[in-house]
Structure 1
Amino acid sequence: MELEVRHLRALCAIADAGSLHKAARQLGVSQPSLTTQLRRIERALDGELFLRERTGCRPTPFGRSVLGRARPLLDGMAALVAEARAMASGPRLRLGSTASRALPGWLRRLHRRWPDTETSLFVDVSPNALLRMVASGQLDVAFVHEVEGSPLRVPPGLELRVLVEREPQFVSMSPDHPAARRGVVDLQDLAGDRWTVDPSVDGEWDGLRRVFAAAGLDPPVLHADYHTASSLIVSGEAVAPCQPTSGPRADMAIRPLAGDPLAVRLLLATRPGEHPEAFEDLRAAYLEAAHTSPAYRAWLRRHASPLLAAS
C-alpha cells in the first residue's frame, strides 16, 4: 500500500479530533471505514500510530513523528491548490465560519463593498479546523468562537481580532417548559432536564461539563447534531445551550442563564494585516443580529453593554 494525501489527511484528522468518531464525521466517512483505513496505514508503516483509549485516541511517539512530517506536506499541498485556483480566477474572498446569525449580514456588506469579488463561504462546526484552513491558504478569513476554558489551537502566523470578548450563551427550550415563563433561568431550574450537545463542536461539551460540575449538577446528556437537537428541544425532550443572537421562534424559547456561566469569545482570524474591512463589516453584521434578538437585546440593556451604543 502506498500512502496518499487522503491517508495523511485522515491521520491528521484523527489526531486533531482526538477520536475516530469525531474524525469520521469531519471527513464524511463512517467510523468503521476510517478504522479499517487506519489499520491499513499502520500495517503499511509497520508501526502503531495511535493508542486507542476509552476516551478516544492519542498519537504514539511513532505517530507524533509521522504527523510531524505529514502536516507540512498537507499544508503545502493545500497552499499550492489555493494559489493555483486564485491565479486561475478573478478576485475572490474565501470566508470560513462557525454557525452564526451574523453571516447573512456579513455577506451582504461584503458584496456591497466588493461587488466584483467572488465570495465563497465554508461553514464548519470546528473552529480549530477553520483556523488551520486559514493558515494553509485554503481560506482568507475565518469567524470562529472560543469556548471559555477551552483555548483554541491557533497555528503560527495568524492574526486574531477580537469581535466580542465574552458573549454569554443562552439556553433554548420548549415554550411549554416551566422555566420559559421566567425572563432569566437558573441552572437549578433545569436540573431535571436532559441536555443536548454536539460533541464535534470544539470545546462545547467540555465547557458545559465544567459548568455542570461547578453547579453540582449531573444531568443526562444527549449527543446530537444541530438539526437533531432542534427537534429534541421543540418536542420538550431536551434543553440546550445556544447563541444569544438566536432568533425568536414560536416553537422555541430562548432565555439567558443567571450569572452567565457559559460564554465564548468571538474572533476573526486572518493572515497578518489582511482584510481589515472584513472585520468592520462583520462587526456591523453582528451588532445587527444582536439588536434583532429580543432576549439578547434585553440582556444588553440589563448589563449596560457598550454594544447598545455601537449600532
Structure 2
Amino acid sequence: MAMDLEVRHLRVLCAIADTGSLHKAARELGMAQPSLSTQLRRIEHSLGGELFARERTGCRPTPLGRAVLSRARPLIAELSALVQEARTTAARAAGGPHLRIGATASRAIPGWLRRLRACPPRPEPTLQMDVSANALLRMVAAGQLDVAFVHEVEGSPLRIPPGLCLRTLVEREPQFVTIAADHPSVARQVVPLSDLASERWMVDSTVDGEWDALCRVFRTAGLDPCMLHGDYLTAYSLVATGEVVTISQPTSRPRPDLVIRPLQGDPIGVRLLLAARTEAEADAVYPELEEAYWEVAWEAPAYREWLRRSPAGTVGAGLPALRDDDVRLLNAEVTNS
C-alpha cells in the first residue's frame, strides 16, 4: 500500500536537496542516516520513482525529484506561515502587550527577534511576513503593526503613508545573482550581466518593484533575456538544476548546489528601511535590527568579500549603518589581504 505523503516527508526531501548528502541531511534533521535512507526509499516507492541519484559526491535530484521539490518548498513555506499566524493570533487572544513586527524577507529577522526577546521587560515580538513592502507600511500607518522592516527597490519608490517615521538601515544594498554550482560564471568572483544574457531569469513579480527594476537594468544594458514569473523558493530549486538564474539578497546563505555572486557594477540595489509611527517606537527596536543585519552580512561569504573589496570610504557612504567597529574590522582585513 502506498504511504500517505506528509509534511515531514517533504521536509526530508528538501533537507537532502539542500545539503546534497544523506549524511548531512540526517544530521540536520536529528536522525540516524540508516533511518533517513529507509524513509527516502519508502517515499520513492510511494511516488513511483527515484527522487535522488546517489553518486559518489552526494545526492542530486532526478527530474522527478526536481518536480516534487518545486511543489514541496512552497507548501512548506505556506505551512510555516500558517503556524506563525496561528501562534500570533493565539498570543493576542491570551492578552498581554505584544510588539507587532512586519517584514519583507531578510536573513536578519531571526537574529533581530532573538535580540528583542533577550531584553525583558520588552513586549513579546510577533511577526507578520509579506512580499509587499507597501502593504506593510499601510498596516503600520493603520495601527495594525508597530514597526515594519522593508526594502525599497531602486527606481521604484515606496508609497509612504503620511506621518510615518523612517529609519534607513542601509542606503543601498547591492543585489547579487544566484547561479548553479556548475555554471560557467562560477569561475568569476564578479559576474558581468552580459554573461547571463542568454539565461532564463526567474523573478517574483509580487515583490514591489522587483520585476520593473530588473527590466530597467536589462534595457539599460541593451539586453533582452527571457524572464519568468515565480516565487523564490521555486526559483532556487530551478537554479540548482541550471534551468534559471535569479537575483538574491547579498546576505543569502550559500548552499552546496548554488553559488551567489555580485554583478559587475552592482546594477541592482535596494534601500533597507525601518518604519514606525513615532521616533520612540523606531528607537526601541533599531539597535537590535542593526546588529542582526551586520551579523548575517559578515556571515555571508559573497557579501563579506564584496565589503572587503570596496574602499572604506565607499562602504561608509553606501552603507551608512556600518558601525565604527565594522569599519575598523573591514580596514584591517583589507590591509592584511
Could you tell me the TM-score, scaled by structure 2's length? 0.65
Alignment of 1:222-301 (within 5 A): 222-275=228-281, 276-301=283-308
Give a deviation string over 1:8-30, Cα, whole Å, max 9, x none: xxxxxxxxxxxxxxxxxxxxxxx
- Answer whether contact 1:98 1:127 (CA < 8 A) is retained: yes
- Answer whether contact 1:301 1:308 (CA < 8 A) is retained: no
Match of 1:111 in 2: 117
Counterparts in 2 of 1:168 and 1:285: CA distance versus 1, 3 Å: same
- Answer whether contact 2:116 2:122 (CA < 8 A) is retained: no
State the SS of the aligned residue for 2:127.
strand
Match of 1:58 in 2: none
Name the amino acid aligned to 1:153: R
User: Any unmatched runs of 5+ in structure 2?
Assistant: 1-90, 317-321, 327-337
Offset at residue 194 of structure 1 (A) = 0.4
Name the amino acid aligned to 1:264: V
Give a deviation string over 1:104-129, Cα, whole Å, max 9, x none: 11001100113562210001100000
Match of 1:27 in 2: none
Name the amino acid aligned to 2:115: R
Q: Distance in 2 between matches of 1:116 and 1:87?
A: 19
Offset at residue 274 of structure 1 (A) = 3.0
- Answer whether contact 1:174 1:236 (CA < 8 A) is retained: yes
Residue 195 (1) aligns with residue 201 (2)? yes
Q: Distance in 2 between matches of 1:116 and 1:159?
A: 21
Counterparts in 2 of 1:90 and 1:212: CA distance versus 1, 3 Å: same
Match of 2:160 in 1: 154
Q: Distance in 1 between matches of 2:247 and 2:304?
A: 18
State the SS of the aligned residue for 1:113.
coil
Give a deviation string over 1:38-88, Cα, whole Å, max 9, x none: xxxxxxxxxxxxxxxxxxxxxxxxxxxxxxxxxxxxxxxxxxxxxxx9798
Task: Name whichever of 229-238 and 201-210 sits farther off.
Answer: 229-238
Aligned length: 227
Q: Distance in 1 between matches of 2:183 and 2:324?
A: 34
Match of 2:103 in 1: 97
User: Any unmatched runs of 5+ in structure 1?
Assistant: 1-84
Name the amino acid aligned to 1:300: L
Name the amino acid aligned to 1:293: A
* RMSD (Å), alpha carbons: 1.7
Name the amino acid aligned to 1:238: V
Match of 2:147 in 1: 141
